Structure 1
Amino acid sequence: MSGAVYDTDLLVVGAGPAGLAAALHAARAGMSVTVCEKRPDPVDKACGEGLMPGGVRRLHALGVRPEGVPLVGIDYLDPSGRRAHAPFPAGPGMGVRRTALQAALSAAAHAAGAHRLDVRVTAVAQDATGVTAAGVRARWLIAADGLHSPLRRHLGVPVRRGFPRRFGLRRHWRAEPWSRSVQVVWGPHAEAYITPVAADQVGVAVLYRPAAASPDTAAHHAYAALLETFPHLCRRLAHADPASSVRGAGPMRQYPARRVVGRVLLAGDAAGYEDALTGEGISLALAQAEAAVDALVAGSPARYGHAWRRLTRRYRWLTRALVLATAHPGARSLLVPGCRAAPAAFRAAVRQLAAS
């Protein structure tokens, strides 16, 4: 096929929030778009499912309004129940099932003219004028195929995986939310994230290091063992029924050497991930999708590399500092008392995160 002939302007690999948001931005910018995703809708994965206010604003700007629960702030708690609260100062966040978010984005992308191919893409060929994958010739490709991106690996992009190695497990429970905030309970070796996602459902994610539970242990056994280290939370869930299976992800920290490889751009988790600790993953994925499409519309993919560093700088610095500062159980035990003793500093940190 001639390099001057294209089946589509943009190939998007991956139908998660980053890929679908990119497809939607591109279609509305006048590009023809094809989304490649082998997994059937809705695509689910381990996810904290809390959107920062900045992410909610980006969704609404796209005209996407999934059903969810407004969130007013973030609570840090210790295992005894002591709490430090920081409100979102400029509008609410949102707790939303990943499946509901994906379905809403998928419908919007389809309505905007994006087409879908039910195919798994693990390789791409490219030249000076275009890319070819899954038998489709395109001008550009956005790889939004997850934390362990097969396309990133195929392209030979080196990835730095840092210390400490952390993993996440998530399950939903049928229970009326007891807070309008995302609650983070800091245990000696793990954190539990409680996110209201519906009027009768909460998502509970546990982030941990292998010392707390082996990543080789079956996910549901590891999750149950970790949950037992949070007695107050266990009592809350004592009479609640599970509403989903246990899903896992990790190791979390992955930092690719670059995000632009010729005519291929990496977005979402494929572009690099620090940690779920500060809850910005989906919000940043939406921001990256917009920046990637802006760069392609301008015909300057290198612009996206600069935009990615600018968009994620605050997240990377704050999250990395917090992960390292709480790597030792002694330091972890001081975090909630420290936030209670210096509420202005805690509120300022949350204000920075909320803007993402």
Structure 2
Amino acid sequence: MDLLVAGGGPAGLATALHAARAGLETTVLERRAGTVDKACGEGLMPGAVAALAALGVHPPGRDLRGIRYVAGARRADAAFRAGPGRGVRRTVLHTALCEAALAAGVAIEQHTVRRVAQDGDGVVVDGIRAGHLVAADGLHSPVRHALGLHRPCRTRPRHGLRRHYALAPWGDRVEVHWARDAEAYVTPVAGGLVGVAVLTTVRRPYDEHLAAFPGLRERLAGARPAGPVRGAGPLRQTAGARTAGRVLLVGDAAGYVDALTGEGVALALAQAPAAVRAIIAGDPGAYEREWHRLTRRYRRLTRALLGTAGVPWTRAALVPAAQRLPWLFSAAVDALARPVGESA
């Protein structure tokens, strides 16, 4: 076999799809059966929508026209100049990518990766031999840890919580509501469904976090929760390198700063073809260099926003500043909307 992919989320399935279309015999190993769900904001940036379309994948959802920041009575709006993004239920995205991968000849097996070994000619994963392994097994990537590539983070950990509500969307933007200790991200994902994700450093129940957003809580009053609260974190994850011999890390497994900018899926969709190109060229090190280029803008912008949001007085000034300087807010949103790796 040419390629094994550990992890059947968007990063793994996109990698497998690119590999199969490049002529590589590819198998995806995913520990969870059926459709995979995950706690995420579910808002695809315009660059992610374009990357999926290039793969022939068009998951149904709700068009997103921009981003709105909200803090009490203050709000700031900026439209996407690169075309619409899309609010897509994570399970819908997974199904669309699975169908495309299977149609391309990818084998998908339920399997928990336990042991990885490699030599000069290939890798062996639990007795299965392949030319290369792509680890796309998420934030807490067991493969990253097993290969000694994980690096501890010394920043205060942030976590995410998400719940859906059976409620007609009230707008065509991702709304980011700001409070002292958390942000709430509201994403329309279907005609009668919105997702509300909370990112915070404070550990408390989901409903207690919503109490910090009275305007949002009023919007949600009487709406029926459409599913359980799902959590993820710590969000910040660091890898010492993205490659180790014939193993390449893709998506969250390769390192992650924060979900603040909503670029997670877009980053994974950009890294997937880069990893496949490096494998075909026989130069995994090329992927390491390309990963740094592809993620540079995301890492810089997200760290800058986190630094600003981490100081109480600058955090409180974020939305007023965006309101007073709409051109600056629009420029930042435009940067987020561009395809990953494109120069600003």
TM-score by length of 1: 0.94
User: After the TM superposition, which residues 201-280 of structure 1 pair with which residues of structure 2 at under 5 Å, given as runs?
Assistant: 201-210=193-202, 213-214=203-204, 222-280=205-263
2:95 is matched with which residue?
A: 103
User: After the TM superposition, which residues 180-219 of structure 1 pair with which residues of structure 2 at under 5 Å, given as runs?
Assistant: 180-210=172-202, 213-214=203-204
Does the CA-based 8 Å contact 1:157-1:256 persist in structure 2? yes
Q: Using the alignment, how far apart are the partners of 1:81 and 1:143 within structure 2?
A: 45
| Cα drift, residue 45 of structure 1 | 1.1
C-alpha deviations, 1:191-244, integer Å up to 9, x for none?
00000000110000000012xx35xxxxxxx10110111111111111111111
Structure 2 unmatched ranges of 5 or more:
none
Q: Using the alignment, how far apart are the partners of 1:91 and 1:349 within structure 2?
A: 15
2:39 is matched with which residue?
A: 46
Match of 2:131, SS? strand
User: After the TM superposition, which residues 151-162 of structure 1 pair with which residues of structure 2 at under 5 Å, given as runs?
Assistant: 151-162=143-154
1:14 aligns with 2:15: no
2:142 is matched with which residue?
A: 150
2:332 is matched with which residue?
A: 349
2:278 is matched with which residue?
A: 295
C-alpha deviations, 1:37-58, integer Å up to 9, x for none?
1201211111111111011000
Given the superposition, is the C-alpha separation of residues 162 and 347 from structure 1 closer, same or farther in structure 2, using an over 3 Å criterion? farther
1:338 aligns with 2:321: yes
C-alpha deviations, 1:123-163, integer Å up to 9, x for none?
21100010011321100000000100011111111314142
TM-score by length of 2: 0.97
| Cα drift, residue 333 of structure 1 | 1.2
Does the CA-based 8 Å contact 1:122-1:154 persist in structure 2? no
Q: Using the alignment, how far apart are the partners of 1:195 and 1:110 within structure 2?
A: 29
Match of 2:222, SS? coil
1:25 aligns with 2:18: yes
Structure 1 unmatched ranges of 5 or more:
1-7, 215-221
Q: Which residue identity does 2:65 align to in structure 1? A: V
Q: Using the alignment, how far apart are the partners of 2:151 and 2:36 within structure 1?
A: 25
Q: Which residue identity does 2:317 align to in structure 1? A: L
Q: Which residue identity does 1:45 align to in structure 2? A: K
Q: Which residue identity does 2:245 align to in structure 1? A: G
Match of 1:117, SS? strand
Q: Which residue identity does 2:280 align to in structure 1? A: V
Where does structure 1 differ by over 3 angstroms across 4 or more consecutive aligned residues?
none
Aligned positions, number: 339
Q: Using the alignment, how far apart are the partners of 1:162 and 1:291 within structure 2?
A: 29
Q: Using the alignment, how far apart are the partners of 2:272 and 2:45 within structure 1?
A: 16
1:319 aligns with one of 284, 302, 312: 302
Does the CA-based 8 Å contact 1:162-1:254 persist in structure 2? no
Q: Using the alignment, how far apart are the partners of 2:127 and 2:211 within structure 1?
A: 50
Q: Using the alignment, how far apart are the partners of 2:106 and 2:126 within structure 1?
A: 16
| Cα drift, residue 122 of structure 1 | 2.8
Q: Using the alignment, how far apart are the partners of 2:263 and 2:47 within structure 1?
A: 9
% identical equivalent positions: 57
Q: Using the alignment, how far apart are the partners of 1:134 and 1:198 within structure 2?
A: 40
Q: Which residue identity does 1:102 align to in structure 2? A: H
Does the CA-based 8 Å contact 1:173-1:201 persist in structure 2? yes
Does the CA-based 8 Å contact 1:119-1:134 persist in structure 2? no
Q: Which residue identity does 2:305 align to in structure 1? A: L
> How large is the Cα RMSD of the aligned pairs?
0.9
Q: Using the alignment, how far apart are the partners of 1:170 and 1:294 within structure 2?
A: 35
| Cα drift, residue 174 of structure 1 | 0.5
Q: Using the alignment, how far apart are the partners of 2:47 and 2:304 within structure 1?
A: 22
Higher mean alpha-carbon deviation, 54-63 vs 295-304, is at 295-304
Q: Using the alignment, how far apart are the partners of 1:135 and 1:61 within structure 2?
A: 35
Q: Using the alignment, how far apart are the partners of 1:123 and 1:151 within structure 2?
A: 8
2:64 aligns with one of 58, 67, 71: 71
Does the CA-based 8 Å contact 1:339-1:345 persist in structure 2? yes
Q: Which residue identity does 2:5 align to in structure 1? A: V
| Cα drift, residue 81 of structure 1 | 3.3
